[in-house]
Homo-oligomer: A and B are copies of this chain.
Amino acid sequence: MSAESTVGSTDLPVKRQREDGENGVSMETEGVKEPDCISAVIPGWFSEISPMWPGEAHSLKVEKILFQGKSDYQDVMVFQSSTYGKVLVLDGVIQLTERDECAYQEMITHLPLCSIPNPKKVLVIGGGDGGVLREVSRHSSVEKIEICEIDKMVVDVSKQFFPDIAVGYEDPRVTLHIGDGVAFLKAVPEGTYDAVIVDSSDPIGPAQELFKKPFFESVAKALRPGGVMCTQAESIWLHMHIIEDILANSRQVFKGSVKYAWTTVPTYPSGVIGFMLCSTEGPEVDFKHPVNPIDAHDKSGRPLRFYNSEIHSAAFCLPSFAKKVIDYKAN
């Protein structure tokens, strides 16, 4: 992980952006103002305070703010932390840090792609940072990777500040669409994809539609029979009610398997994040037992840092308090 500041060597200078112009974004270059989420708490630290996790906050020490902008959709910030590398923040919520992004990106990608033989066409909704693309690229069977990200600023900022993550865009199989994932999916011909990965932020703000039943119906339609969806599905410690909703929507729409998995990500609230894995009616998918191990055909030259076949299966084992709610409803 690089710990050096990229300010000064980049095309995107440190700047403050606000909505106003033609495309809703213009630049103020007079300097950086501390965002509220920093100055309000420990001076010199970023603290993540949200009604999504009341009464607790995780804080990271800030070495330098590298970017602040306001896109059409959200506040975007990048800072150099003292011990977690560079950090991407959207609307005050940490999306990734260089130190632990491997856990999220590798799990959200390989849990679905290693569960089906020979995935060929993959769609990523959200995931503008490019990390999921980087992981999809490891699969040599894949011929076509499409990504629909609503916020171009996330893509630009990632290419600028997180080259080891945005490297995913360099794969010639990738096509980037800037736009609304909900609308994009509606226009997709039936049965197009082997896998759809929904790498969204939390269900408040721009991503809220991505947790609702109509969106799941579009995903299911866009998948081939026995195709798979993996969507970010919050924390068993904090958001069991949201998970229950996602589960109920999934069960109604997906007639194959519906399973919940989770993994550790230190900089996400409560230190864990979950995934809902669903398959459409067709060839059976046994998510817990991967049929398409990644190691064999990964030509990326970048060793997996987190994922392996053992942790794939283990991710589906739930603590009793979560099992009681999730497995009961999912099976």
Contact = CB atoms under 8 A, between A and B. Distances in A.
Interface of A: 41-42, 45, 47, 54-61, 81-84, 100, 102-103, 237-238, 262, 264-266, 268, 270-272, 303-308, 310-311, 313-315, 317-321, 323
18 contacts: A42-B47, A54-B61, A55-B61, A55-B84, A56-B60, A56-B61, A103-B319, A264-B264, A264-B272, A266-B270, A270-B271, A304-B320, A307-B320, A311-B318, A313-B314, A314-B314, A314-B315, A314-B317
A56 B58 contact: yes
Contacts of A84: 55-56
A264 B42 CA distance: 26
A193 to B, nearest CB: 28
Contacts of A59: 47, 56-59
Contacts of A57: 42, 45, 58-59
Contacts of A42: 41-42, 47, 57
B60 A81 contact: no
A268 B266 CA distance: 10
B58 A58 contact: yes
Contacts of A310: 317-318, 323
Nearest to A61: B55
A57 B84 CA distance: 12
The 8 A-B residue pairs whose C-beta atoms are closest, nearest first, are A271-B271, A55-B83, A314-B314, A314-B317, A55-B82, A266-B270, A310-B317, A55-B61
Contacts of A308: 317, 319-320, 323
A235 B61 CA distance: 20
Contacts of A83: 54-56
